[in-house]
Structure 1
Amino acid sequence: MNPLDIPILLSGSFGELRSNHFHAGIDIKTLGKEGLHVFAAANGYVSRIKVQQFGYGKAIYITHPNGYTTVYGHLGKFANAIEQYVKSIQYKKENYATGNLYFKKDKFPIKKGEIIAYSGDTGGSGGPHLHYEIRNTATEHVINPLLFGLKVEDTKAPVFQALKVYALSSDARINQQRKSYQIPIKSIGKGKYTAGRITASALIGFGVSVFDRFNKAPNKNGIYSLEMLVNGKRFYYHDVETFSFAESKFLNLHIDYEHFKKYKRRYQKTHKATSNTLSTYEDLINNGKINIQKNLNYAIEIIAKDFEGNLSSLKIPVAGKESNAIFTNQKDTTAYNVIAKNFNKFKQQNVTVAFPKNTFYEDVYLDFNVDKEIAKIHTPTIPLDKSFTLTFNVSKYSEAEKQSLYIANVEYPKYPRYQYTRKKDSTFFITTKILGNYTLLSDTIKPTIKLLYLQDQQWISNAKTLKVKIADIDSGIKNYRATIDGEWILMQYNHKKRILTYNFSDKKLVGSKHIFKIVVSDNVGNTNELSATFFKKQIN
Structure 2
Amino acid sequence: MRLNKLLLFLLLILPVGLYAQYEGIDKDYFEFPIQPDKTNFLSGNMGELRSSHFHAGLDIKTAGREGLNVFAAAEGYVSRVRVSTGGYGNCIYIQHPNGTTTVYAHLQRFNPIIAEYVLKNQYKRKSFTINLFPKRNEFKVKQGEIIGFSGNSGSSTGPHLHFEIRGLNQEVLDPLRIAGFDQIKDELAPSVQRVALKTMDIDSRVNGQFGRFEFSLQKENGTYKLTDTVDVHGKIGLEVYTYDQHNGAANKNGVPLIDMLVDDQLYFSQNIDTIDFAQQKNILIHTNYQAQKESRRRYNKLYVDDGNTLDFYDAKVNDGFVNASPGEIKQVSMQLQDAFGNTSKVAMTLRGVEKKKAINTEIEPSKGSYVQDNTLMLFQPKDSTNNNITIYKEQGSIIAEPTYQNDRTNVFLIDLRRLLPQSVTFNDGSQESLHFADRIPAANAHSYLSDTYSLRFSKNALFDTVYIRARHFIDDAQMEVFEVDQDRYPLKGSVYAEFMPLAQYDDLEKYHVYSIKNPRNPGFVGGKYDEGKFSFNFSSFGKYTLLKDDVAPTIKKRSVKNGRISLTIRDNLSGINSFEAKLNGEWILMKYEPKRSLIWSERLDKNKPLVGEFELKVADNAGNESFLKLKLE
TM-score (norm 1): 0.92
**One-letter identity of the residue aligned with 1:214:** H
Q: Tell me the matched-pair count.
A: 524
SS of the counterpart of 1:282?
Answer: strand
Q: Which residue of 2 aligns with 1:538?
A: none
SS of the counterpart of 1:73?
Answer: strand
SS of the counterpart of 1:383?
Answer: coil
Cα gap change, 1:477 to 1:397, in 2 (>3 Å): farther
2:597 is the alignment partner of 1:517? no
Question: How many Å apart are 1:340 and its aligned residue?
Answer: 2.4
Question: How many Å apart are 1:223 and its aligned residue?
Answer: 1.1
* Root-mean-square deviation (Å): 2.1
Q: Which residue of 2 aligns with 1:370?
A: 472
Provide the C-alpha distance between the structure 2 equivalents of 1:353 and 1:393, rounded to a whole number of angstroms.
12
Q: 2:195 aligns with which of 163, 182, 188?
A: 163
Cα contact 2:207–2:230 (8 A) shared by 1: yes
Gaps of 5+ in 2: 1-30, 358-402, 405-411, 422-435, 475-479
Gaps of 5+ in 1: 455-459, 536-540
Cα contact 1:403–1:524 (8 A) shared by 2: no
Cα contact 2:588–2:602 (8 A) shared by 1: no
Provide the C-alpha distance between the structure 2 equivalents of 1:513 and 1:142, rounded to a whole number of angstroms.
47
Q: Which residue of 1 aligns with 2:33?
A: 3
SS of the counterpart of 1:247?
Answer: helix
Alignment of 1:374-453 (within 5 A): 374-393=481-500, 401-422=507-528, 424=530, 426-453=532-559
**One-letter identity of the residue aligned with 2:440:** V
Cα contact 1:183–1:195 (8 A) shared by 2: no
Provide the C-alpha distance between the structure 2 equivalents of 1:63 and 1:513, rounded to a whole number of angstroms.
42
Which has the higher mean CA deviation after the structures are superposed, 269-278 or 484-493? 484-493
Q: Which residue of 2 aligns with 1:529?
A: 627
Q: Which residue of 1 aligns with 2:571?
A: 472
Provide the C-alpha distance between the structure 1 equivalents of 2:254 and 2:564, rounded to a whole number of angstroms.
39
Q: 2:233 aligns with which of 201, 210, 223?
A: 201
Cα gap change, 1:395 to 1:182, in 2 (>3 Å): closer
Superposed CA offset, 1:298-323 (max 9, x none)? 22112221111112222212111112
Q: 2:49 aligns with which of 6, 17, 29?
A: 17
Superposed CA offset, 1:149-205 (max 9, x none)? 223100111111222101113321111112221123223364634343211122112
Q: Which residue of 1 aligns with 2:292?
A: 260
SS of the counterpart of 1:444?
Answer: coil
Question: How many Å apart are 1:272 and its aligned residue?
Answer: 0.9
Q: Which residue of 1 aligns with 2:107?
A: 75
Cα gap change, 1:513 to 1:272, in 2 (>3 Å): closer
Provide the C-alpha distance between the structure 2 equivalents of 1:339 and 1:25, rounded to a whole number of angstroms.
35
Provide the C-alpha distance between the structure 1 equivalents of 2:520 and 2:258, rounded to a whole number of angstroms.
39
Cα gap change, 1:189 to 1:129, in 2 (>3 Å): farther
Provide the C-alpha distance between the structure 1 equivalents of 2:607 and 2:500, rounded to a whole number of angstroms.
52
Question: How many Å apart are 1:374 and its aligned residue?
Answer: 0.9
Cα contact 1:482–1:519 (8 A) shared by 2: yes
Cα gap change, 1:420 to 1:506, in 2 (>3 Å): farther
Provide the C-alpha distance between the structure 2 equivalents of 1:506 and 1:316, rounded to a whole number of angstroms.
69
Provide the C-alpha distance between the structure 2 equivalents of 1:425 and 1:376, rounded to a whole number of angstroms.
22
**One-letter identity of the residue aligned with 1:379:** Q
Superposed CA offset, 1:78-115 (max 9, x none)? 111111111111111211111x3222323112221111
**One-letter identity of the residue aligned with 1:174:** V
Q: Which residue of 1 aligns with 2:381?
A: none
Cα contact 1:162–1:184 (8 A) shared by 2: yes
Cα contact 1:466–1:504 (8 A) shared by 2: no
TM-score (norm 2): 0.79
Superposed CA offset, 1:10-29 (max 9, x none)? 11101111122101111111
Q: 2:323 aligns with which of 280, 283, 291?
A: 291
SS of the counterpart of 1:490?
Answer: strand
Provide the C-alpha distance between the structure 2 equivalents of 1:241 and 1:311, rounded to a whole number of angstroms.
16
Question: How many Å apart are 1:31 and its aligned residue?
Answer: 2.4
Cα contact 2:78–2:137 (8 A) shared by 1: no
Superposed CA offset, 1:210-260 (max 9, x none)? 111111111111112111121222211102111211112111111111011
**One-letter identity of the residue aligned with 2:600:** T
